[in-house]
Structure 1
């Protein structure tokens, strides 16, 4: 009986170690001659979408959060801190926020601009398939014109 348990356990261990081995994939050179940078993730569910305006599941949000950064984020103490925004100013009537962006680039080298945020927010606020469009209007951030959109 012991033999019947030992052999499958040894096979499972061998397969597990093989799966953990480093293959040549991580050492392949990219087009620029530098080693490729590969991150392999093992997650319990599928990612449904990487479109932040359409994501509704936790796994998609988790991966989106690994790939993009917003104007602000939270630190290890859950304090709101700047991310792509270096700083921001609030108008005297506290209705207008002006974000000052840090120097950031998209993966293709293009600079991140305020127009990129404007496009994304307008897209989310006006897309009828976006489940979170209401967040921009009077039920959420109260952004002027969002309810009409």
Structure 2
């Protein structure tokens, strides 16, 4: 499964960016198409990254994809977070992604990689275009949210 990648620089420290990424309750206010996000399995407080969620249920309404699905998360401090689909959903059959954060002059470079597969066949170019739209909207929303809170 090929991945689509894009990045953006956010005027904030990596810890501030990762705090917004980990705040799933707030996703409907800034993540385009996310109608709800509910932590299903919180992370253990003894984890090296604290109590960041291990499993989250999302309801997405981003035409043409409307689905409810659960993602499993793997956290690496304030450096990265990766996720994958816990099990096939109605429309989504795979959803793998990563936010990688790196401190740079002027803030934090956030690199987003995403690979999506859906139950209905899509041409590769259409699928990559959809992934690019999702990534760009997510990075833009993340930047706005972090910088507004900062």
Higher RCO, 1 vs 2 (CA within 8 Å, ≥6 residues apart): 2
Give the structure with the higher percent helix: 1
Q: In which range does the TM-score fall when normalised by the shorter chain? A: under 0.3
- What TM-score, normalized to structure 2? 0.25
- What TM-score, normalized to structure 1? 0.25
Give the structure with the higher percent strand: 2
